[in-house]
Amino acid sequence: MNLNWEGIMPAVTTKFTKNDELDLDMFELNIEAQIRAGVHGIILGGTLGEASTLTEEEKRQLIEKTVTIVKGKVPVIMNIAEQTTKGAKEAAAKAAAYGATGLMMLPPMRYKANDYETVTYFKEVANSTDLPIMIYNNPVDYGIEVTLDMFEELLACDNIEAVKESTRDISNISRIKNRFGNRLRVLCGVDTLALESLLVGGDGWVAGLVCAFPEETVAIYELAKAGRVKEAVSIYRWFLPLLELDISPQLVQNIKLAEVATGIGTEMVRAPRLPLIGEERQRVLKIIEEGMITRPVLPDYKALQEC
């Protein structure tokens, strides 16, 4: 499958039962909702997917299940977040074997690699696989920034094709486009900067609240790309209090509560994460409730996908 690295790509949550096993039935319900809404890819095993808690067997099940559900309609992308180069190569090989059509890659975990080490890590993994790769650039949360000079070196690898831009510096999108054009596709990785990113030339949005609100998320993208900015802004302004739930250490719990409200998820998380309690739970529920009450009527954005 050709991977264009554009559009809405949900970083989906992993669904669990009360017995702390994969809830593949609820997972399928959510993925089907994403596909109906018109998303352009599915990303597994990110922070929202609680990847650090998943076993190798569970990762296999999630990839194979997703491939079965989407039936080739959209690419299935697996996140690689490993501590060693050897481990990352093995993870990439397994993702390919299980049916993934692309990879998202974080820098080495735990060890704070320098620029040379980071570039070498990405290049060695890229050279070990034929799968296309999106680099996840999130220095705020992971302490390592992939600079433009580093990308200059990385693009020697033909299969490094995109960046999930999470530096929080909106100007970085224009810097990337000025230097690399479409050689490096740019997808926003911060929900609260998504529309702004699209309007300055971003190619897509790796989204979080899309897990609960897929139609609204895709509508913003399609309207923005069609030049119907006023309509996109109206939906985005409604969405913003919900999108801010993604900018939190408890983003997984927050977004899973939102999935409960829209009927396409549960709030089951895997320990040491625990469901929200007390005042924080009530604060988040109030935001979600207000969003549900004021949920906008969407224009026929799907017609724009056919143009």
pLDDT value at position 307?
65
Task: Give CA–CA dist 137/135, Å, rounded.
Answer: 6
Residue 83 amino acid letter: Q
pLDDT band of 141, cuts 50, 70, 90: confident
Question: How do the domains of the chain map onto residue ranges?
Answer: 7-305
What is the mean predicted confidence (pLDDT) over 156-169?
97
Q: Please, which residues have CB within 8 angstroms of residue 57's CB and are 6 or more apart in sequence?
A: none
What mean pLDDT is reported for the chain?
96
Three-state secondary structure of 200-223: CCCCEEEECHHHCCHHHHHHHHHH
Comparing CA positions, the residue from 238, 241, 236, 235 lying closest to residue 254 is 241
- 141 against 219, higher pLDDT: 219
DSSP structural state of residue 133:
E
What confidence tens digit (pLDDT) does each residue in 17-72 have?
999 999 999 999 999 999 999 999 999 999 899 989 999 999 999 999 999 999 99
pLDDT-derived band at 111 (thresholds 50, 70, 90) equals confident
DSSP 8-class letter at 68:
H
Q: What is the pLDDT of residues 247-264, one digit of tens each?
A: 999 999 999 999 999 999
pLDDT of 109 reads: 85
Q: What is the pLDDT of residue 216?
A: 98
Q: For the whole prediction, is pTM greater than 0.75?
A: yes
- Would you state the pLDDT for residue 1? 65
Q: How many residues does the chain have?
A: 307
> What's the CATH fold of domain 7-305?
TIM Barrel (3.20.20)
Q: Is 8 helix (H, G, I), strand (E, B) or coil?
A: strand
Q: How confident is the model at residue 201 (pLDDT cuts 50, 70, 90)?
A: very high
